[in-house]
Each structure stands twice: as structure tokens, then as C-alpha cells.
Amino acid sequence: MRISRLFVPQSLAAGTALALDTEGAHYLRSVLRLKPGDAVVLINGEGGEFPAEIVQMGRDGVGVAVGECQRRDAESALSTHLGLGISRGERMDLGIQKAVELGVSAITPLLTERCVVRLSADKAEQRLHHWQHVARSACEQCGRNRLPEIHPPEPLYPWLERQQGLRFILHPHGGVALRELPLPTGPVCLVSGPEGGFSDRERDDALRLGFTPLRLGPRILRTETAALAALAAIQTLWGDLGG
């Protein structure tokens, strides 16, 4: 039987008793409907996973006994940073969730000219917390023990200026194909636009700053498809999806 994995935002140590926070307790008690004696696996995003046993289950809290850390690594050796144009609701959540499953190292939500989403400072902070929760849940599901960093939203141009390594901008009408490129020796940076794509000016800025236009094939992919298809191809050619 598959043992459920749970992210806990605190230090973990073998041989200790741990009272789960409200969210974790609710998940085990009301969603999974576990009971004392049941096993779970705890992760805190710092590497490794801790088998644990539920020792207390009640409305006043859920307690677990933490076992020995197991060092199991599910991280890709290829470092990938995804700049993702902010799209609406479920599309953005899907992009972050699946990028985490595909082994992305970091994600930066980007504000572009054609973004239909406009974020105040308070709203941006709320969305960041939400996207970080989406990433944690994806790690629980897919078996990763390290959390990819979800950076605060920022405008496209200053982000483009700071990026290093092999840099790609998705371009539906031209550019190079991945199979034409040699194996990279450092990190890979990929930037993908929102629903309306990048403006000509944004695309020109990226090219001027050293980004290579990347072609994924003869079909135009929707925003929620394009970044994920590119990540899957990159991880297959250069990362750990090939075997």
C-alpha cells in the first residue's frame, strides 16, 4: 500500500515526537482519514525523508513519532530555472505543479505586457504563498525531497538581465531545435509567455540579452503546454527523464 507523504515546515529529527501544524493535522485526519498506528512519510524540503507513525489523532491535534532519515534523492542533476508568464487561475497552478514534477529547480512568475492578471503588492504576496503551496503539494505527490524555489513575481525585463547559463525563450515561429544543440555544461534557463505570448519588444529584449529562440515543433502550443513540453524535452535530452 502506498504510504502518504506530508510536507512539514519545520526541522525533523529521528526519535522525536512532533505535533503537526493545523494544515497537516487536517490533511491526515479529515482528508486521508488516518488513525493512530498508521504510517506516513515526512519531508521538509531540505533533502531526505522521515518515516513516521501517527501516535495521536484527535480534534486537539495530531502527533507523530519520527523515524530515521532516509537519504533518497529524486533531484535532476540538470539545474533548470523557469520564468513563467503569469496566467489566470488554474493554468498557472497547472504550470507550477507539472514543472515541479518534471524536476524544475526554480520558478519565477513574470509580469509581462500581455499578462491578463494584475497583482497589487498584497495580492502578489497571497499568490506567492498559494504557488508555494502548489509546489509543496507537487513534491509530496511526485517523490521529491527538496523544494524548488518559487520566487516572488517580478517584471520580465530585470529578470532577463540577471539570468546566466544556457538561456532559451520559447518562440513558435522560428529559432533552434533542442536536438541541434550540444549538451550544456551549466544551468539552463527557460522563459515562457502568458496566454497572449510575448510582445515583439519583449522578444527582442530577450534576444538582445543572449536568450536563444527555441522551437518546439510545427504546432503552436498553449501557454500551459509550451513550458511543460520544453521542460520535458530538456530533461529527456540532458536530464533524468531518459532512463
pLDDT digits (tens, 9 = 90+) for 86-132: 988 788 999 999 999 999 999 999 999 888 778 787 888 999 999 99
Taking all residues of the chain, what is their mean pLDDT, rounded to a whole number? 89
Asked if pLDDT for residue 175 goes beyond 90, the answer is no
C-alpha count within 13 angstroms, C-beta hemisphere, residue 147: 18
Q: How far apart are CA 193 and CA 170, in angstroms?
A: 8
CA separation (Å) from 188 to 99, 101, 149, 240? 14, 17, 15, 14
Asked if pLDDT for residue 243 goes beyond 70, the answer is no
Higher pLDDT, 192 or 177: 192
Ramachandran class of 126: left when φ > 0, alpha when ψ lies in -120 to 50, beta otherwise: alpha
pLDDT band at 221 (very low <50, low <70, confident <90, very high): confident
Q: How far apart are CA 30 and CA 82, in angstroms?
A: 35
pLDDT band at 171 (very low <50, low <70, confident <90, very high): confident
Cell numbers that stand for 172 in this block? 513558435
Q: How far apart are CA 62 and CA 36, in angstroms?
A: 9
Asked if pLDDT for residue 2 goes beyond 80, the answer is no
CA separation (Å) from 119 to 123, 125, 127, 132, 223? 5, 9, 9, 16, 19
Asked if pLDDT for residue 21 goes beyond 70, the answer is yes
CA separation (Å) from 216 to 108, 176, 228, 240, 243? 21, 9, 11, 19, 22
Higher pLDDT, 174 or 171: 171
Asked if pLDDT for residue 1 goes beyond 80, the answer is no
Smallest CA-to-CA distance from 212 within 184, 242, 243, 241 is with 184
Give the pLDDT mean for 195-208: 90
Q: How far apart are CA 206 and CA 127, in angstroms?
A: 26
Query: What pLDDT, in 10s, does the model give residues 33-85?
Result: 888 999 999 998 888 899 999 998 887 788 899 999 888 888 899 999 999 99
Q: How far apart are CA 166 and CA 164, in angstroms?
A: 7
pLDDT at position 32 is 86
pLDDT at position 48 is 86
Query: Which burial class, exposed, middle or buried, applies to 139 when counting CB atoms under 10 A from its CB (0-12, 13-18, 19+)?
Result: buried
Domains of the chain: 5-66 (2.40.240.20), 80-238 (3.40.1280.10)
For the chain, how big is the Rg over CA atoms in Å? 20
